[in-house]
Structure formats: structure tokens, C-alpha cells
């Protein structure tokens, strides 16, 4: 029982929700669909019916053995979805790479991070997550839950919370609400960023102390003298007294640029 909990095994028991999740990415016979955590196959059948090729990544060997005979056309791999290299996936001719999954909540964030990093390879994703995490990823500037996860995800992806799913849709029911994120990779970053690692450092430092002013948060997080942080912000046209949660992605890019 505790192993099942550790693996986040809450199986979807509503076929209408499974269809609605797959509908978000609308697989066709030309597409490769990668399913994360197929479990007992609630989404797998729907994907197999619609996508040209399905690759399913499951970490539980017992479930892998049960899935293989049920879905002979699906390539079921015993694999850890946190460390799978989604960036190496190649789209079939004329098709797309899609990622779909009802993610294990215990490791939802590292799996999400690995998928987000593959914006050059993955065209679209539909991922069920803990609702609070999904809302943070999709949050706009000014929102209470807007943070580094929102900025870093939205640099390369169009993100929206597409469905909200109650605990009763799963067996056993989780203790938290769930939501499905629909992610679409942008053809180019939302704003031009010369050095993405520097951009990420700035964003993380700004939100690490979100109650502080930007000048204080950046000085502390980046090890800068207060005056240098204030001058950089002023040069980027950003009031040093603002809080990180009010900055747009464009403004973060401007600040990072001037820190070079
Ligand atoms: N897709 C199924 C459904 O909707 O009913 C199962 C979803 S269940 C929330 C999460 C699934 O992910 C489980 O089958 C679990 O064994 C699997 N899992 C947990 N950690 C994993 C990991 N690191 N890599 C791949 N699969 C994992």
C-alpha cells in the first residue's frame, strides 16, 4: 500500500475525463504520443486508438507486465519519467511529438521540469497535476501564485489550466484536487533572452524572497551590492521598490540583460 502511495498511484476511473484529457492534444495517425505513468491504462487505450505510435513510460514493473498484453501496439517501457530525455524524441514525418499523463503527484514537478525543458522536441502536452501546481505554472503576473515556475514555463510554452478534476474521479481518491495543464510549445521564446541561465538565476533570485523589494531580493540572491541592484533595475526601467510578482517576462528579460 505504501509503495503505491509513494508512486502516486491514483487511477482515473472516469472514461469521459480520460477522453477529455486526450482531446486537448488531439492525436492523429501521424503523431507520436508519449504517455507518462500509464498505470492501469486509463489513458493508454484512448491514445492507442488515435495516435500513430504510443510510447508509455511506467516505473512499476508489475504494471508494465500487465499493460503489455493488453496494449500490444503500445511500446511500454519500464522507465523513470523524471530522467527520460524528452529532448531526444523525434517527430514522425508530418507529425508531432505529444506528451500526455496523469502524473504521480509525489514527483510531478521533476517530471514537469523534464518535459518543459524539451520545448524544441515536444509540440504539445496535456498533464494532470496537483491543482495548486498547475495553477502556479499558468499564473499571470500580479497573481498571488505567480512565481519562478510560471515565468520559466511561459518563456517557451503557452500554458493554460484546461480541466479541473475532483478527487472522486480517481481510485483511490487523492487528498488534493487535480487539474490538467495544456501546454503548447512556442515556435520561438516569448521574449528574446540572450542567456537563459542568467535569466533563470535572476528570476529565481527575485522570487526567492518574494516579500522583499526587487532590489533587496536581487542583491541577496545574486550577491550584489544594493546600489548595483538598484542601478540595474533602474537601467531596465523597473522601479527597484516593486515586488517580483508584478514583473512581466519581458521585464525580467530586460533586468537579466542589464546584469551581463
Ligand atoms: N495513467 C494512469 C491513470 O490515469 O489512471 C495512472 C496514473 S497514476 C496518477 C501515476 C502513474 O505513474 C502510476 O502508474 C505510477 O506507477 C507511475 N509512476 C510513478 N512514478 C513514476 C516515474 N518516476 N516514472 C514513470 N512512471 C511513474
| Angle ∠(95,96,97) on CA atoms, nearest 5 | 140
DSSP strands (E only) in the chain = 11-12, 32-36, 53-58, 75-78, 97-102, 124-130, 157-165, 170-171, 178-185
Tell me, yes or no, whether 106 and 218 share the same domain. Answer: no
> To test the ligand 1 pocket, which listed residue (39, 47, 63, 66) has its Cβ within 8 A of the most ligand atoms?
39
Query: Which residue's CA lies nearest to atom 8 of ligand 1?
Result: 9
Last residue of a domain, one of 143, 163, 185: 185
| Alpha carbon distance 44, 51 (integer Å) | 10
| Alpha carbon distance 93, 80 (integer Å) | 27
Closest CA to 114 of 174, 171, 9, 37: 37
The answer to whether the beta carbons of residues 180 and 100 sit under 8 Å apart is no
Question: For 114-150, what is each residue's pLDDT tens digit?
Answer: 999 999 999 999 999 999 999 999 999 999 999 999 9
Last residue of a domain, one of 185, 209, 235: 185
Tell me, yes or no, whether 154 and 75 share the same domain. Answer: yes
230 or 2, greater pLDDT? 230
**Treating both helix axes as pointing N-terminal to C-terminal, what angle do 226-235 and 214-222 enclose, rounded to 10 degrees?**
120
Question: For 7-18, what is each residue's pLDDT tens digit?
Answer: 889 999 999 999
Tell me, yes or no, whether 180 and 208 share the same domain. Answer: no
Q: Ligand 1: list residues with CB < 6 Å.
A: 7-12, 36-40, 42-43, 57-60, 63, 80-82, 102, 104, 107
Q: Are strands 32-36 and 11-12 parallel, antiparallel or unpaired?
A: unpaired
Tell me, yes or no, whether 107 and 233 share the same domain. Answer: no
Question: For 145-176, what is each residue's pLDDT tens digit?
Answer: 999 999 999 999 999 999 999 999 999 999 99
What distance in angstroms lies between residue 246's CA and the mean position of ligand 1's atoms? Answer: 36
What distance in angstroms lies between residue 162's CA and the mean position of ligand 1's atoms? Answer: 20
SS3 state of residue 116? helix
Residue 84 domain-assigned?
Answer: yes
Q: Which atom of ligand 1 is nearest to the CA of 39?
A: 14
> To test the ligand 1 pocket, which listed residue (104, 163, 167) has its Cβ within 8 A of the most ligand atoms?
104
Tell me, yes or no, whether 126 and 93 share the same domain. Answer: yes
171 is written with which cell numbers? Answer: 481510485
Question: For 39-92, what is each residue's pLDDT tens digit?
Answer: 999 999 999 999 999 999 999 999 999 999 999 999 999 999 999 999 999 999
The answer to whether the beta carbons of residues 64 and 76 sit under 8 Å apart is yes
Query: Which residue's CA lies nearest to atom 4 of ligand 1?
Result: 12
Tell me, yes or no, whether 143 and 81 share the same domain. Answer: yes
Tell me, yes or no, whether 146 and 219 share the same domain. Answer: no
Q: What is the mean pLDDT of residues 211-235?
A: 96
| Domain containing residue 210: CATH number | 1.10.8.100
What distance in angstroms lies between residue 218's CA and the mean position of ligand 1's atoms? Answer: 38
Q: 18: part of which helix (H) or strand (E)? A: helix 15-25
* Phi, psi angles (nearest 5°) of residue 195: -135, 100
| Alpha carbon distance 122, 49 (integer Å) | 20
Other C-beta atoms lying within 10 Å of the C-beta of residue 45: 17
Residue 12 domain-assigned?
Answer: yes
Closest CA to 182 of 23, 44, 12, 11: 23
Q: Which residues contact 156 (CB under 8 A, 6 or more apart)?
A: 116, 119, 185, 186, 189, 190
Structural domain of 253? 196-258
What band does 4 get if pLDDT is binned at 50, 70 and 90? confident
Number of alpha carbons in the 13 Å side-chain half-sphere of residue 215: 17
210 or 30, greater pLDDT? 30
| Alpha carbon distance 27, 51 (integer Å) | 5
| Domain containing residue 75: CATH number | 3.40.50.150
Tell me, yes or no, whether 13 and 119 share the same domain. Answer: yes
| Alpha carbon distance 122, 87 (integer Å) | 7
Residue 191 domain-assigned?
Answer: no
Q: Which atom of ligand 1 is nearest to the CA of 35?
A: 1
Residue 190 domain-assigned?
Answer: no
Task: Give the model's pLDDT for residue 8.
Answer: 86
Closest CA to 58 of 34, 84, 39, 86: 39
pTM for the model: 0.95
Report the number of distinct structural domains present in the chain.
2
Amino acid at each position: 500500500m505504501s509503495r503505491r502511495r509513494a508512486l502516486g498511484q491514483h487511477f482515473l476511473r472516469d472514461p469521459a475525463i480520460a477522453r477529455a484529457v486526450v482531446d486537448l492534444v488531439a492525436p492523429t495517425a501521424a503523431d507520436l504520443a508519449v504517455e507518462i505513468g500509464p498505470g492501469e491504462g486509463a489513458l493508454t487505450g484512448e491514445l492507442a486508438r488515435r495516435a500513430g505510435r504510443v510510447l508509455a513510460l511506467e516505473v512499476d514493473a508489475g504494471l508494465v507486465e500487465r499493460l503489455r498484453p493488453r496494449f500490444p501496439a503500445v511500446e511500454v517501457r519500464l522507465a523513470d519519467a523524471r530522467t527520460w530525455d524528452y529532448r531526444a524524441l523525434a517527430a514522425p514525418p508530418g507529425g508531432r511529438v505529444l506528451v500526455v499523463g496523469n502524473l504521480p503527484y509525489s514527483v510531478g514537478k521533476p517530471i514537469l521540469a523534464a518535459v518543459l525543458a524539451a520545448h524544441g522536441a515536444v509540440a504539445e502536452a496535456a498533464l494532470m497535476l496537483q491543482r495548486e501546481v498547475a495553477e502556479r505554472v499558468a499564473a499571470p503576473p500580479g497573481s498571488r501564485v505567480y512565481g519562478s515556475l510560471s515565468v520559466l514555463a511561459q518563456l517557451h510554452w503557452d500554458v493554460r489550466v484546461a480541466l479541473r478534476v475532483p478527487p472522486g474521479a480517481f481510485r483511490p481518491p487523492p487528498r488534493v484536487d487535480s487539474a490538467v495543464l495544456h501546454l503548447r510549445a512556442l515556435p520561438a521564446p516569448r521574449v528574446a533572452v540572450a542567456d537563459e541561465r542568467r535569466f533563470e538565476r535572476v528570476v529565481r533570485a527575485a522570487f526567492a524572497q518574494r516579500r522583499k523589494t526587487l532590489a533587496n531580493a536581487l542583491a541577496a540572491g545574486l550577491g550584489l551590492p544594493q546600489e548595483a541592484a538598484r542601478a540595474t533595475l533602474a537601467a531596465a526601467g523597473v522601479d527597484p521598490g516593486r515586488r517580483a510578482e508584478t514583473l512581466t517576462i519581458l521585464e525580467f528579460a530586460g533586468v537579466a540583460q542589464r546584469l551581463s
